[in-house]
Amino acid sequence: MRLDKFLCACRVGTRSEVKKYIKQKLVTVNGQTALKPEDKVDETADIICFRGKQLQYEAYRYYLLYKPAGCVTAVTDATHKTVMDLFPDDIRGGLSPVGRLDRDTEGLLIVTNDGEFTHHILSPSHHIPKTYLAELDYALPEDAVARFKEGLDIGDDELTLPAELELIEPYIHENGYVRHRALVTIHEGRYHQVKRMFHAVGCKVLYLKRLSIGNLTLCGLDPGDFRRLTEQEIAALKEL
Ligand code: URA
């Protein structure tokens, strides 16, 4: 790969910053001062140092992002802020969100540059559980738990896969109206799936937050925060 690409992947700096560092003779390849950003390096064999410190190449990177409401789940967008705008320039390169949350939905989103991992998480055959907190305009009907479990007709060719629904205490929203609440765990990821499932039982989703994917939770993060996934978390997700 190109030296400047390697340096960016190691988070030495942005493409223009690393070019500057090469010009300033701060980068060596196998002990020789590197001269050109376009020089080819072997990331698995060459010893590449920045300011005398050896760099470790990471082919794949995995992040957990607490997506705030208001940004779109896309890499670029002509009008709206995207989830990728929440990452600094030196991290963002090559990353994409895994699946999507609606613009008004907040919560847990995985972001990676590992296409195979993305495919694994999204594949309908893996049934990876995703849990959401939903706030609703009306109380759920009495048979809602059973209907979510049986599978719902949400207008697609197939019923939804069995989902777990748990009712939680309603509360009074700051607008003075009662908000009914439920936790729902689904094992697939169709377009607007959760909103369409509640619609199928007569309720409108007024607020939606994804709390977990598999073993991952938002624990300790605020909206807009992100962190690296640990090796254990990545391995556990790959096993699901
Ligand atoms: N289901 C929805 O309806 N919206 C989301 O953002 C995620 C799941």
The pLDDT value given to residue 9:
84
Quick one: angle between helices 115-122 and 231-239, nearest 10?
50
The H or E element that residue 148 is part of is helix 144-150
User: Which of ligand 1's atoms lies nearest the C-alpha of 196?
Assistant: 3
For the chain (length 240 residues), average pLDDT per consecutive 10?
Answer: 92 91 97 96 94 92 98 97 94 93 98 96 93 98 98 97 97 96 97 98 98 96 98 94
For residue 131 and ligand 1, the question of a CB distance below 6 A is answered with no
- 208 in contact with ligand 1, CB cutoff 6 A: yes
Determine if ligand 1 sits within 6 Å of the CB of residue 199. no
Contacts of 6 (CB under 8 A, 6+ apart): 41, 43, 48, 55, 57
b/e per residue, 177-194, with b = 16+ CB within 10 A?
A: eebbbbebbbebbeeebb
Which pLDDT score, from 0 to 100, does residue 58 have? 86
Structure tokens at 47: 């010893």
Cα separation, 127 vs 125, whole angstroms: 6
152 φ, ψ to 5°? -115, 150
Contact 212/130 with Cβ under 8 angstroms? yes
Among all chains, which residue has been given the structure tokens 């019923």? 159
Token pair of 122, please? Answer: 């999204």
Task: Please tell me the predicted confidence (pLDDT) of residue 230.
Answer: 96
* Residue 238, token pair as written in the block: 């790959």
With CA atoms as reference, report the closest residue to 237 among 118, 84, 133.
Answer: 118
* Model confidence, pTM: 0.88
Q: What is the pLDDT, as a whole number, of residue 44?
A: 87
The position carrying tokens 């509360």 is 171
pLDDT tens-digit series, residues 214-235? 999 999 999 999 999 999 999 9
Whole-angstrom Cα distance, residue 49 to residue 31? 8
Chain mean position to CA 158: 27
pLDDT at 96: 98
Residue nearest to ligand 1 atom 4, measured at CA = 192
Catalytic residue among 42, 102, 104, 153: 102
Cα distance between residue 220 and residue 229, in whole Å: 13
Q: Is 154 in the pocket of ligand 1 (CB under 6 A)?
A: no
